[in-house]
Copies of this chain bind each other. A is one copy, B any other.
């Protein structure tokens, strides 16, 4: 058996990260406590400060890690895209995959706010966000979207805003907002701009990618 102690330590650490992610969305960033996260992870409270310097360090690690994973996934998904509209669809699909009361995207918003009060976290989150924004802008440039940089920035921000508002207004399904968001791309392809509720064409048609 390979390093049982080390392995268990690693697992405990990851369980803490997962527990923290849940609790951030449930209680809010500043509402996560040492003992709560330890209990959720099934470990004792002392463990938290063995694996992390502080509760805030745990939360930052959780947020940055989650965002990095999501961004990495989205970047590879965007690489397979063959039009700007498809890129938008990919992002919307990712947004939908978390269902309505999506825990993960609320975590992002909590992280943004926490970054407002923590310069170090802000730096790390900005880096991830820039990465995603740049990847999207590259697709846009590639497919002839004007103001690609600015458009990408607005699209990413808008999607985060929609995530937030959807928590209060369930009518904001991706199907509903997609026709409107498409206008952001500036392509005047006039594809029947008033049809809502796209049935199920939300998945990019290429290889199987219905997971996330």
List residues of A whose CB falls within 8 A of some B CB: 25-31, 106, 109-110, 112-117, 122, 125-126, 129-130, 133, 146-147, 149-154, 156-162, 164-169, 171-172, 176-177, 179-181, 183-186, 188, 191, 193-194, 196, 211-212
Q: Can you give 14 contacting A-B residue pairs, CB < 8 Å?
A: A27-B117, A28-B114, A106-B116, A109-B113, A112-B164, A112-B165, A115-B167, A125-B168, A147-B193, A151-B180, A157-B158, A157-B162, A157-B164, A183-B183
Given contacts A27-B117, A28-B113, A109-B109, contact A160 B164 (CB under 8 A): yes
Q: Are B30 and A27 in contact (CB under 8 A)?
A: yes
Q: Please measure, in the bound complex, the distance between the C-alpha atom of A159 and the C-alpha atom of B164, giving whole angstroms.
A: 11
- Set B150, B160, B165, B211: member contacting A179, Cβ < 8 A: B150
Q: Please measure, in the bound complex, the distance between the C-alpha atom of A168 and the C-alpha atom of B156, giving whole angstroms.
A: 13
Q: Please measure, in the bound complex, the distance between the C-alpha atom of A126 and the C-alpha atom of B184, giving whole angstroms.
A: 26
**For the complex of A and B, 3 pairs with smallest distance between CB atoms:** A161-B161, A158-B158, A30-B31
Q: Please measure, in the bound complex, the distance between the C-alpha atom of A176 and the C-alpha atom of B148, giving whole angstroms.
A: 12
Given contacts A154-B180, A158-B157, contact A113 B112 (CB under 8 A): no
Given contacts A158-B157, A165-B156, A172-B157, contact A184 B186 (CB under 8 A): no
Residues of chain B with a CB closer than 8 A to A156's CB: 165
